[in-house]
Amino acid sequence: MSAKDMYHDQFVRALQKDGWTITHDPLIIGVGKTDLLIDLGAERMLAAEREGEQIAVEIKSFIKLSVIHDLKEAVGQFILYAGALAESPENVGRVLYLAIREETYEAVFEEAIGQMLLRHTHLPLIVFNASREEITQWEK
């Protein structure tokens, strides 16, 4: 079992405050003989539908010395997990998100490198405030 991100618990509480129910912690996706562990699986029941919305979330803290190294690692992991979800029959329709703190969004995704990445890749983000344990932004 891999170690949880340092902001895991704060993000879980933020997601719950936003009306989501945690269904998996972690969400395990099998690919051949390999199990991939996505940080969370969650769902939210929608009043107008019989079935709810389902998401998978990979939480990243971006606390290493190199933001670029953190970014490459997060994007690579996201691509790997997106492929695994796409081939997982029991997770059809589950949308994968990368969860990051507001500070990370400002330092990375409001800068040229992050803007370039968002223009050329599909990288849905959930931005959260760790101290208030609140989701502040959804980028689909």
pLDDT in tens, 6-25: 999 999 999 999 999 999 99
Q: Kindly report the number of other CB atoms within 10 A of residue 95's CB atom.
A: 14
What is the predicted pLDDT for the residue at 130? 98
* Helix (H) or strand (E) segment spanning residue 79: helix 67-86
Taking only the tens place, the pLDDT of each residue in 78-131 is 999 999 999 999 998 999 999 999 999 999 999 999 999 999 999 999 999 999
Fold designation for 8-139: Trna Endonuclease; Chain: A, domain 1 (3.40.1350)
Helices (H) and strands (E) in the chain, counts: 4, 8
Q: Rounded to two decimals, what is the model's pTM?
A: 0.94
Contact 28, 83 (CB under 8 A): no
Report the amino acid identity of residue 110: E
Domain ranges of the chain: 8-139
